[in-house]
C-alpha cells in the first residue's frame, strides 16, 4: 500500500533535486532471462538535507541511481535532476552532482592524488582543489600512495573527496558505509550530516535502516523497484499507526495466577482478547495497538495483574520497513 | 574533447604498462640493430682463410675436370623433359670464383625495407597491446563508471580515449623508425654498401616509415576499441593472438587464395607499397599426371590502403555503437 510524497505535497511545491516518474528498467541476463529491477518508480527528493533511499537487497536502489547518472539506460519513465530532464540534459547538471555508486572505483595503480588530479583536469577544476579535498577527507599524507593499497575506509573517503572536487549541490551515495567499521560508519554519517547542514542535498541509499534514521530528514522506502512510502522520518513512522508499549508484570508471588511466567501468559490472553497484539520478549511483553498506554494498565488491573513498568516504545523505521516490505513480498509483483 | 584528450594522454603516459611496453619496444629495436651488425659484419680472418682454401680446392678440381663436368651436364640437360630451366641455370660453364665462397656484402637499399617492415610489426603489436590495456583496464576495474559521472558525454569520452592512444604512440613510432634508419645506415656504412643510396631511395624509405607511424597510431586506437568491446586487456590480447594464429596462420596457409582478404598481406602492401604473394596453381598435365606450380601475384598498395581504412572505420563505428548503448554496471 504505497503512501507516497506526503512531504512534498505540503504547502506549496518545494523544489525537488530529483524527481522520477514511472521509471522502469528490465535487465536481460546472459541466459536471456529478464529481471525487472525497477518497475514504475516515482521518487521525489527535496532540495536540501539528507534523504534516505531505503530498500532491501535487490530492490533496485543501485539501478535507480545508475539511471539517474546516465550509466544505465531506462526502459521507460522520466527523470529530472534540478529541473533538467536526464539523461538528455545530464551534461548541463552533472557539474552540480557528485556520486559514488556501489564501491569506490579508481585506477588501482595510480595514487589517490593522481586519480583526483585526472578528474579535476577532466572537469577543469583548479589543481589546488585536489589538495583541499584530500585535507577535507583527512587523506592528506596518504594521497601519494597507490589507490589499491588503501583500506576500504580510505577508498570511501577518496570517493567522497572526488565528489567534492565539483563542489556539488547534490550528492548521491550508494551504500556508503558498506563494509566499514563503527568508527568509519560514524565518520561517513557525520560527513553526510555536515553536507546536509551546508544546504546541500544528499541522497543516501541503504538497507541498514538504523543508520539512515539517524541522519535522514526525509526518506523513501522502495521494494521490488516500486515506492512503498515516503516523507519525513516522523511521517513515515507515524503513518504506520502503531504505538508499542513495553510492559513488565509484578504481582505478588502468592497470586492465584501462579508464578511470573504464568502471570505473563495470563496477561497475554487478557490483552489479546481486548484486540491488542502481544509479543513476549524475556520478562517483558510488547503490546501493540493500544490507543493509550493507560488502557493496558487498566485492563490488567481489573484482573489483578499489576504493572511494574510501562514504557511507550517509539515505533522505529526498522519495523515500519519490515512491515512494508513484508506486505510487498506477500503481495508479489503485479 | 581537446581537454579530455589531454587528460587521457596524461593517464596513458602515467600507466606502467605503457612505460614497460615502450621500453620493451626500444630494447627490441636495439637488439635488432645489434643483430643487423652481426649479420652484415664481414667474415673474420679465419673464415676468410677457410673460404680461400675451399676456393682453391674447387678451382683445382675445375681445372682438371671442368670440361668433363660441363659435357656430362649438357647431355643430361638434353634428355630432360620440358618445361625446364634455361641451360645457363642448370649447367655451370665457368669455373668457380672466390665470391661464391665469401659472404655477400650487405646493401643498405636492400636491407632497409625489410627492416622497416619488421619494425612496423613490432610497433603495431605494441601499440595494440598498450591501447587495449589503456581502455580495457578501465572497464575491468570499473573506474569507467566513476569517470562517466564526471563526463557523461560518451562519444567525447570514447573519442578522447582513442585519440590519446593514437597520439601517444606517434612519438614512439617516430623514435623507433629513426633508430632503425639511422642505426642501420651507420652499421652498413661501416661494413657493407651504402653507395647508391639516392635521394629517391631515402624518399621511399621515409615514406615507408611515415606510413608505419600512421598504422601504429591506428593500431593503438583499434587496440582501445577491442579493449572496450571485450572489457579486459587479456581478452583483447587473446583475441588478437587467436586471430593471428588461426585465421592468418592456419587459414591463410591452407587457402592461399584467401590472402588478399587477410590483414597481414594488406598491411604489408600498405607499408611496402605493394606486396607479392604466392598461390599454388595445380592442374592436370598432358601425360595424365598432376602438376603444381607457384604463381607470384601482387597485391596493390591501393588495395591495402582501402582494406585497412575500411577495417578501421568499421571497428571504430562498432565500438562507438556498443559504448553508447552499453549499461555500465
Ligand atoms: N547488470 C545486471 N544484470 C542483470 N541483473 C541485474 C544487474 N544489476 C542488477 N540486476 C538485478 O536488478 C535487481 C535490482 O538490483 P540493484 O543492484 O539495483 O538492487 P539494490 O537495491 O541496489 O540492492 P543492494 O541493496 O543489494 O545493493 C536485482 O534483482 C539484481 O539482481
Ligand atoms: Mg545496491
All structural domains of chain B with their residue ranges: 2-42+105-254+307-325, 50-101
**Same domain, residue pair A214 and A259:** no
Length of chain B: 329
CATH of the domain at A276: 3.30.70.3400
A6 pLDDT higher than 60: no
Peptide bond into B83 cis (omega under 30): yes
The answer to whether residue A68 neighbours chain B at the CB level (below 8 Å) is no
Q: What is the DSSP string of B217-278?
A: HHHHHHHHHHHHHHSSHHHHHHHHHHIIIIIIIIIHHH-GGGGGGSHHHHHHHHHHTSEEEE
Across A205-209, B261-265, B311-315, the highest mean pLDDT is recorded for: B311-315
Residue closest to A170 by CA, chosen among A94, A74, A97, A89: A97
Top-confidence residue, A146 or B85: A146
Using the beta-carbon criterion (under 8 Å), do A73 and B148 form an inter-chain contact?
no
- The whole-number pLDDT of residue A239 equals 55
Residue A299 neighbours by CB under 8 Å, 6+ apart: A270, A271, A274
Question: Within its chain, how far is the Cα of A7 from the centroid?
Answer: 16
Please choose, from the candidates A56, A139, A318, A131, the residue with its C-alpha nearest in 3D space to the C-alpha of residue A213. Answer: A318
Task: State whether residue A199 sits within 8 Å of chain B by CB.
Answer: no
pLDDT band at A14 (very low <50, low <70, confident <90, very high): low
**Dihedral of alpha carbons A58, B329, A39, A234, sign:** positive
Going by pLDDT thresholds of 50, 70 and 90, the confidence category of residue B160 is very high
The pLDDT tens digits of the residues spanning B241-253 come to 999 888 888 887 7
Both A150 and A280 in one domain: the answer is no
Task: Write out the residue range of the structural domain in which residue A148 sits.
Answer: 6-238
A66:B6 CB<8 A = no
Residue B40 pLDDT: 82
Question: Does residue A328 lie within any of the structural domains?
Answer: no
pLDDT score recorded for residue B252:
79
Q: Which residues of B109-142 are buried (b: 16+ CB within 10 A; e: fewer)?
A: bebbbebbbebbebbbbbbbbbbbbbbbbbbbbb
Rg from Cα positions in chain A = 24
Give CA separation, A201 vs A96, A174, A268, B90, B121, in Å: 11, 14, 47, 92, 55
Interatomic CA distance for residues A166 and A183, integer angstroms: 27
Q: Which residues of B touch A106 (CB under 8 A)?
A: 141, 143, 146
- Is A10 in a helix, a strand, or coil? coil
Higher local confidence (pLDDT), A158 or A281: A158
Q: Do B14 and A114 touch (CB under 8 A)?
A: yes
Q: What is the mean pLDDT of residues B109-119?
A: 90
In this complex, do B6 and A106 lie within 8 Å of one another by their Cβ atoms?
no
pTM > 0.95: yes or no: no
CA B7 to chain A, closest CA, distance in angstroms equals 6
CATH of the domain at A87: 3.40.50.300
C-alpha to C-alpha distance for B173 and B149, rounded to whole angstroms? 34
Q: Is the pLDDT of residue B169 over 60?
A: yes
Strand partners, A26: A36
Q: Shortest CB distance from B11 goes to which of A98, A99, A118?
A: A118
Question: Bridge partners of B283?
Answer: B291
Note whether A151 and A214 are same-domain residues: yes
**Which ligand sits closest to the CA of A333?**
1
Residues A215 and A303 in one domain: no
CA distance B109 to chain A (A): 45
Pocket of ligand 1 (CB under 6 A): A 27, 29, 35, 37, 55, 57-63, 175, 207; B 329
Residues A217 and A296 in one domain: no
Over residues A164-173, the mean pLDDT reads 92
* Confidence label for A12 from pLDDT (cuts 50, 70 and 90): very low
Find the range with the poorest average confidence among A290-304, B201-215, B260-274.
A290-304
Q: Are A331 and A226 in contact (CB under 8 A)?
A: no
Question: Looking at residues A93-115, what average pLDDT do you find?
Answer: 92
Dump pLDDT digits (tens) for B7-58.
999 999 999 999 999 999 999 999 999 998 888 887 778 888 888 888 888 8
- Cα of A222 from ligand 2 centre, angstroms: 12
* Best probe residue, ligand 1, of A61, A103, A221 (max atoms within 8 Å of C-beta): A61
Strand ranges for B126-232 from DSSP E: none
A81 touches chain B (CB under 8 A): no
Interface of B with A (CB under 8 A): 3-4, 6-7, 10-11, 14-16, 137-138, 141-143, 145-153, 325, 327-329
Q: Are residues A217 and A93 in the same domain?
A: yes
Q: Which of A234, A161, A172, A159 is nearest to A17 (CA)?
A: A172
Question: What is the band of A4 on the pLDDT scale with cuts at 50, 70, 90?
Answer: very low
In this complex, is the C-beta atom of A260 within 8 Å of any C-beta atom belonging to chain B?
A: no
A245: left (phi > 0), else alpha (psi -120 to 50), else beta? beta
Domain shared by A278 and A173, yes or no: no
Nearest CA in chain A to B16: A109
Q: Which residue of B has its CA nearest to A103?
A: B142
> Do residue A121 and residue B146 have CB atoms under 8 angstroms apart?
no
Let me know whether A278 and A210 are in one domain.
no
* Closest approach of A68 to chain B, Cα-based (Å): 10
- The answer to whether residues A130 and A264 belong to one domain is no
**CB of A111 closer than 8 Å to CB of A144:** yes
Q: Which of residues 2-31 of A touch B (CB under 8 A)?
A: 27
Can you tell me the mean pLDDT for A25-53?
A: 90
Ligand 1 center from residue A62 Cα (angstroms): 7
Q: Is residue A326 part of a domain?
A: no
Alpha helix segments (H runs only) across A200-292: 209-215, 233-238, 260-273
Ligand nearest to the CA of A61: 1
Indicate whether A325 belongs to any domain.
no
- Angle at alpha carbon of residue A299, lines to A296 and A301, rounded to 5°: 100
Does A130 share its domain with A47?
yes
A1 within some domain = no
pLDDT at residue number A254: 66
When comparing pLDDT for A29 and B311, which is higher? B311
pLDDT for residue A185? 87
Arithmetic mean of pLDDT, A275-279:
83
Residues A263 and A140 placed together within one structural domain of the fold: no
User: Which ligand sits closest to the CA of A173?
Assistant: 2
Nearest CA in chain B to A166: B150
**In this structure, are strands A307-313 and A244-249 parallel, antiparallel, or unpaired?**
antiparallel
Q: Does A124 touch chain B (CB under 8 A)?
A: yes
What is the CA(A220)–ligand 2 centre distance, in A? 15
What is the percentage of chain B residues whose pLDDT exceeds 90?
A: 52
Nearest to B20 by CA among B130, B123, B122, B125: B130
| More confident call, B226 vs B55 | B226
Residue A167 sits in the same domain as residue A251: no
What's the gap in Å between A194 CA and the centre of ligand 2? 24
For the segment B102-111, the average pLDDT, to the nearest whole number, is 82
With the C-alpha atoms ordered B110, B113, B116, B120, is the resulting torsion angle positive or negative? negative
Using alpha carbons, select from B171, B140, B144, B175 the residue that is nearest to residue B160: B144
Domains identified in chain A, total number: 2
For residue A11, what pLDDT is reported?
43
pLDDT digits (tens, 9 = 90+) for B273-297: 888 888 877 777 777 777 777 888 8
Mean pLDDT of chain B: 89
Q: Assign A277 to helix, strand or coil.
A: strand
Residue with cell 510501562: A310
pLDDT tier for residue A287 given thresholds of 50, 70 and 90? confident
Place of cell 623433359: B81
Amino acid at each position: 500500500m504505497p503512501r507516497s510524497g506526503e512531504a512534498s505535497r505540503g504547502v506549496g511545491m518545494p523544489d525537488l533535486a530529483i524527481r522520477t516518474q514511472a521509471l522502469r528498467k528490465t535487465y536481460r541476463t546472459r541466459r536471456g532471462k529478464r529481471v525487472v529491477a525497477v518497475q514504475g518508480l516515482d521518487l521525489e527528493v527535496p532540495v536540501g538535507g539528507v534523504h534516505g533511499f531505503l530498500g532491501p537487497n535487490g530492490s533496485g536502489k543501485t539501478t535507480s541511481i545508475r539511471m539517474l547518472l546516465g550509466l544505465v539506460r531506462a526502459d521507460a519513465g522520466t527523470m529530472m535532476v534540478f529541473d533538467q530532464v536526464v539523461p538528455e540534459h545530464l551534461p548541463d547538471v552533472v557539474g552540480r552532482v557528485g556520486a559514488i555508486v556501489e564501491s569506490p572505483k579508481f585506477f588501482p595503480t595510480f595514487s589517490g592524488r593522481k586519480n583526483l588530479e585526472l578528474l579535476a583536469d577532466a572537469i577543469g577544476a583548479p589543481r589546488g582543489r585536489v589538495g583541499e579535498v584530500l585535507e577535507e577527507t583527512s587523506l592528506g599524507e596518504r594521497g601519494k600512495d597507490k589507490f589499491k593499497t588503501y583500506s576500504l575506509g580510505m577508498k570511501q573517503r577518496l570517493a567522497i573527496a572526488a565528489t567534492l572536487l565539483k563542489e556539488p549541490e547534490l550528492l548521491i551515495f550508494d551504500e556508503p558505509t558498506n563494509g566499514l567499521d563503527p568508527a568509519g560508519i560514524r565518520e561517513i554519517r557525520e560527513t553526510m550530516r555536515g553536507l546536509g547542514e551546508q544546504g546541500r542535498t544528499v541522497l543516501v541509499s541503504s538497507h541498514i535502516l538504523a543508520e539512515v534514521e539517524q541522519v535522514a530528514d526525509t526518506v523513501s522506502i522502495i521494494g521490488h523497484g516500486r515506492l512503498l512510502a515516503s516523507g519525513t522520518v516522523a511521517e513515515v513512522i507515524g503513518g504506520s499507526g502503531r504505538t508499542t508499549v513495553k510492559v513488565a508484570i509484578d504481582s505478588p508471588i502468592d497470586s492465584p495466577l501462579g508464578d511470573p511466567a504464568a502471570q505473563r501468559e495470563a496477561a497475554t490472553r487478557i490483552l489479546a482478547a481486548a484486540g491488542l497484539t502481544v509479543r513476549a520478549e524475556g520478562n517483558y511483553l510488547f503490546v501493540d495497538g493500544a490507543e493509550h498506554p493507560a488502557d493496558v494498565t487498566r485492563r490488567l488491573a481489573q484482573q489483578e495483574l499489576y504493572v511494574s513498568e510501562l514504557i511507550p516504545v517509539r515505533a522505529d523505521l526498522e519495523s515500519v520497513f519490515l512491515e512494508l516490505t513484508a506486505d510487498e513480498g506477500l503481495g508479489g509483483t503485479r | 574533447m581537446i581537454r579530455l584528450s589531454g587528460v587521457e594522454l596524461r593517464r596513458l603516459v602515467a600507466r606502467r604498462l605503457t612505460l614497460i611496453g615502450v621500453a620493451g619496444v626500444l630494447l627490441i629495436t636495439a637488439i635488432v640493430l645489434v643483430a643487423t651488425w652481426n649479420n652484415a659484419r664481414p667474415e673474420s680472418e679465419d673464415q676468410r682463410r677457410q673460404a680461400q682454401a675451399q676456393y682453391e680446392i674447387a678451382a683445382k678440381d675445375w681445372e682438371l675436370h671442368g670440361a668433363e663436368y660441363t659435357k656430362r651436364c649438357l647431355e643430361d640437360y638434353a634428355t630432360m623433359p620440358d618445361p625446364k630451366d634455361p641451360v645457363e641455370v642448370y649447367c655451370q660453364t665457368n669455373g668457380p670464383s672466390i665470391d661464391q665462397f665469401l659472404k655477400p656484402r650487405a646493401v643498405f637499399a636492400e636491407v632497409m625495407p625489410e627492416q622497416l617492415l619488421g619494425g612496423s610489426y613490432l610497433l603495431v603489436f605494441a601499440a595494440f597491446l598498450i591501447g587495449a590495456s589503456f581502455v580495457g583496464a578501465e572497464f575491468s576495474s570499473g573506474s569507467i563508471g566513476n569517470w562517466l559521472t564526471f563526463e557523461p558525454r560518451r562519444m567525447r569520452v570514447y573519442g578522447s580515449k582513442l585519440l590519446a592512444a593514437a597520439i601517444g604512440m606517434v612519438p614512439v613510432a617516430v623514435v623507433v623508425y629513426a633508430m632503425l634508419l639511422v642505426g642501420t645506415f651507420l652499421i652498413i656504412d661501416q661494413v657493407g654498401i651504402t653507395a647508391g643510396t639516392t635521394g629517391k631511395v631515402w624518399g621511399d624509405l621515409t615514406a615507408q616509415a611515415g606510413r608505419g607511424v600512421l598504422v601504429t597510431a591506428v593500431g593503438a586506437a583499434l587496440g582501445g576499441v577491442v579493449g572496450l568491446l571485450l572489457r579486459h586487456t587479456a581478452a583483447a590480447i587473446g583475441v588478437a593472438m587467436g586471430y593471428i594464429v588461426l585465421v592468418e596462420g592456419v587459414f591463410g596457409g591452407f587457402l592461399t587464395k584467401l590472402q588478399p582478404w587477410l590483414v597481414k598481406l594488406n598491411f604489408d602492401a600498405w607499408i611496402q607499397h605493394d606486396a607479392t604473394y604466392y598461390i599454388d596453381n595445380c592442374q592436370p598435365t598432358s601425360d595424365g599426371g598432376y602438376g603444381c606450380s607457384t604463381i607470384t601475384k601482387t597485391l596493390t598498395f591501393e588495395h591495402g590502403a582501402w582494406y585497412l581504412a575500411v577495417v578501421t572505420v568499421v571497428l571504430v563505428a562498432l565500438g562507438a555503437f556498443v559504448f553508447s548503448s552499453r549499461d555500465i554496471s
